Amino acid sequence: MWTSRENLRAAVDGLRRLETYSHLSTLTGVEIGSDIEVVYHIACTDALISLKVQVPKDEPILPSIVDIIPGTALYEREVHDLFGVRFDGNPDLSPLLLPDGWPDGVYPLRKWWTPARISEKTRGGR
């Protein structure tokens, strides 16, 4: 199921209000061409719903849903660390998975960042 950046919060809130809603299982990111696709995996008692939204890599900004589903906070931090998606409204996008001193702008799950490029950037080529 697809939604736009502008309708994301309303779509998530609508799914959360379903009688069969159980929880947000996880949030994943996928690089697809010039976009980052963020997938919200929402568990209901009778189905698993994947709500998808795409943002351009050069403007990877989505509204946060932490006020709708508080457990989303850590998932948003993870996607921020690994793909560089900024979640407006998330009060804490500090690194969750990446080590202290990790260089800004290096998003290890984006395809451009090969192991060799990451190694070069993190070992003094900053």
Tallying the residues shown for the chain, one arrives at 126
pTM of the model: 0.91
Flag whether 23 is in a domain.
yes
Flag whether 3 is in a domain.
no
For residue 15, the domain's CATH number is: 3.30.460.80
Residue with tokens 């997938």: 39
d(CA 58, CA 75): 21
State which residues of the chain have pLDDT below 50. 126
Task: Provide the pLDDT for residue 70.
Answer: 93
- Domain interval for residue 54: 8-122
Task: Provide the pLDDT for residue 24.
Answer: 97
Which residues lie closer than 8 Å to 53 by C-beta, 6 or more apart? 2, 3, 4, 5, 8, 37, 38, 40, 62
For the chain, what is the domain count? 1
Flag whether 2 is in a domain.
no
Flag whether 1 is in a domain.
no
Pairing label, strands 86-88, 48-56 = unpaired
